[in-house]
Structures are given as structure tokens and as C-alpha cells.
Structure 1
Amino acid sequence: MQRRERVFHAVSFELVAMAIIVPASALLIEKNPLDMLFVSIGLTLFAMLWNYVYNLQFDKLIGPNRVERKIGIRIVHALGFEGGMLLVTIPLVSWYLALSLIDTLILEAGVLGFILVYTAVFNWLYDVYQPYQKWFAHLVH
């Protein structure tokens, strides 16, 4: 993917995810949808920053050849990324939404479970409909 398409992919991924997660989580935990939108935007911004920092450091530690990484390294990578996210976000979300740490952990586990499935489905659909994405990207070029 070219840089422009990567940006389009990332932004569309996040917007669709928020469109699903914000109303669903607001209903489930009986919180104001605007509060959930603020949390969602904050988590998205932190995830993008953390993604950049974490992957930069991981590549320095493991090496830049990502193609040859085995499944064990990929599992360590994913667990480290998500663990770092949770370490920072659980206390902040708990404080902001006035939830217990356990309730926040349950909420985040639900979101993480959704994101795992959503990521696979979104990327599969994105790849299947790639010609349409390129057409749209050409229009905004």
C-alpha cells in the first residue's frame, strides 16, 4: 500500500470501529455516548502513538526484517503491544468513566474481543473491495 492508501485504510478502520463501539458500549455500561466518544477518540489517538513508539522499539530489539518473523515472535509482539495499551488505558478509562478497575477490565476485554474479530473482517472486506478503494483514493488525490 502506498502512504495515501495506508492513511485512508487506517482512518476508515478507526471511524467504522468507533461507529460500532461508541453506541454499543454506551448502551452496555449505561454511560453518555459523548463520554464514550471522547474515550474512544482518546484510545484511538493513544493506540496510534503507542503503535508507532512500540513498533519502532520492537524493531530495534528484534531486528527490522519483519517478513521472516516466526509465530512466536508475532505472539510476543501482539501481547506486548496490547499489554502496554492496557497498562496505560485501564486506569485512565476507569477514572474518566467512574468505573471500578474490574468493570473497566471487562469493558476493555469486550472491546478487545470485538476488535480482534472486527480487524479480520474489516481487512478481509477491504482487500476484497480493493479496486473500489483505489478508485475512491484516486478521486481524493
Structure 2
Amino acid sequence: MQIRERLFHAVSFELIALAFIVPVSALLVEKDSTDMLLVSAGMTLFAVIWNYVYNLLFDKFIGSNRMERKIGIRVVHALGFEIGMLVFTIPLVSWYLSLSFIDTLILEAGMLSFILIYTGVFNWLYDVYQPYKKYFGKQCSE
């Protein structure tokens, strides 16, 4: 993937995830939806940057032919991404929402459960359907 396609991939991933996460998390933690939107926006900004860096490094070590990746590599990919996210976000979310560490872990566990599945499915569908090339033309990404 070239830079434009990586950015398209990362932003698409995050916008679709936000559509699910913001309303559900606001209900579950009984916090103001504005607070959850700010937390989600901050996490999304971090995730977009992390997604770009992580996938660049992953491709460098595993190889850039994503069509040949089997389920095991896709599971490793998703787990590595999420572990990196958790290391950075748990302390910040706990502080901003005034949640205990345990409550934050529970919230993050729910999000992680969703995101683990979502990450694998999104990336698989993205690789199969190649929406960037479909909408912007093959020449834009090469």
C-alpha cells in the first residue's frame, strides 16, 4: 500500500468503528455522550496514527502481499495492533473518565472483543474488495 491508500484504509477503519463504539460505550459506562465522543475521537486519532505505523512495520516484517496472508497471520496482526492500543489508552481513558483501573479494563475488554473481530473482518474485506482502487483507480495507489 502506498501512503494515500494507507490513509484511506486507516480513516475508513476508524469511522466505521466509531459508528458502533460511541453510542454503545456511552450507554454502558453511563457517561455523557460528549465525554464518550471526546474519548473516542482521541482514541481514533491515536488509532489512525498507530494503524499507519503498525501496518507499515507489520508489512516490513511479514511482507506486503496481503492476499497470501492466512488466518494465523491475520490473528497475529489483529492481536499485535490491539495490544499496542491498550498499552497507551488504558491509563488515559481511566484518567479522563474518572474510572477505576478495573472499570477501565472492563470497558476496554468489551471494546477489545468488538475490535478484535472487527479488525480481522475489516482487513480481510478490504483486501478482497480493494475499495481504494475501486473508487480512486489503480494508478492512484501505485
Give me the TM-score of the superposition, normalised by structure 1: 0.70
Q: Give yes or no for the alignment of 1:7 onto 2:7.
A: yes
Shift of the 106–65 alpha-carbon distance from structure 1 to 2, 3 Å rule, reads: closer
Q: Give yes or no for the alignment of 1:66 onto 2:68.
A: no
Answer whether contact 2:22 2:37 (CA < 8 A) is retained: yes
* Separation in 1, partners of 2:54, 2:14: 19
Sequence identity percentage: 65
Structure showing greater relative contact order (alpha-carbon pairs closer than 8 Å, 6 or more residues apart): 2
Answer whether contact 1:22 1:33 (CA < 8 A) is retained: yes
1:53-132 equivalences in 2 (<5 Å) = 65-67=61-63, 78=79, 82-130=82-130, 132=131
Q: Which runs of 5+ in 1 are unaligned?
A: none
Shift of the 36–118 alpha-carbon distance from structure 1 to 2, 3 Å rule, reads: same
Structure (1 or 2) with the larger CA radius of gyration: 1
Answer whether contact 2:90 2:108 (CA < 8 A) is retained: yes
Higher mean C-alpha deviation, range 117-126 or range 14-23: 117-126
Answer whether contact 1:14 1:44 (CA < 8 A) is retained: yes
Aligned to 2:67: none
Answer whether contact 1:94 1:104 (CA < 8 A) is retained: yes
Aligned to 2:136: 137
* Separation in 2, partners of 1:128, 1:49: 23
Q: Deviations over 1:63-114 (max 9, x none)?
A: x5433xxx79x95x945x6445333322221111111110100001111111
Please state whether the residue corresponding to 1:99 is helix, strand or coil: coil
Aligned to 1:38: 38
* Separation in 2, partners of 1:78, 1:126: 18
Matched pairs, number: 128
Give me the TM-score of the superposition, normalised by structure 2: 0.70
Per-residue deviation, 1:43 = 1.5
Per-residue deviation, 1:13 = 0.4
* Separation in 2, partners of 1:83, 1:31: 25
Superposition CA RMSD, Å:
3.2
Shift of the 106–34 alpha-carbon distance from structure 1 to 2, 3 Å rule, reads: same
Answer whether contact 1:90 1:105 (CA < 8 A) is retained: yes
